[in-house]
Amino acid sequence: MSEPISSIRNLGPAYEEACGRAGIHTAEEVRMLGADETYARLLKTGTKPHFIGYYVLVMGLQGRPWNDCKGKEKDALRKRFDALKASSHDKGRSDLEAALNMIGVIEKRKA
């Protein structure tokens, strides 16, 4: 039997719902994809980028409390988050434009 996403430390029903919108339905899928790919898929399906939401996922997959991320580790995660956001979040587009872009109907805007 599959484990729910909320069985991963720090992740609750809202995270589980966002993952469902991204086509991710089990804790096993999240573990297999890893934090970066999971979060990129969340961004691509409409989740607004938020650094805490990203590092909560990273810490949870490591079995650590969400607030355990500090110092240089947090700085490194911030760089990873910024790169994910830049490559996976369609800033400045309406939801319809972002959806059309995702399926290749309109050209991606320049930053």
Q: Which amino acid is at 101?
A: N
Please state the three-class secondary structure of 31-98 as a single string: HHHHHHHHHHHHHHCCCCCCHHHHHHHHHHHCCCCHHHCCHHHHHHHHHHHHHHHHHHCCCCCCHHHH
- How confident is the model at residue 1, as a pLDDT? 76
Instruction: Give the burial string for 42-58 (b: 16+ CB within 10 Å, else e).
Output: bbbbebebeeebbbbbb
**How many Cβ atoms sit within 10 Å of the Cβ of residue 108?**
10
pLDDT, one tens digit per residue, over 59-108 is 999 999 999 999 999 999 999 999 988 887 655 656 566 556 556 565 55
Is 80 exceeded by the pLDDT of residue 15? yes
> Residue ranges per domain, the chain?
5-102
Task: Classify domain 5-102 at the CATH class level.
Answer: mainly alpha
Q: Who's near 70: CB < 8 A, 6+ residues apart?
A: none
Is 80 exceeded by the pLDDT of residue 109? no
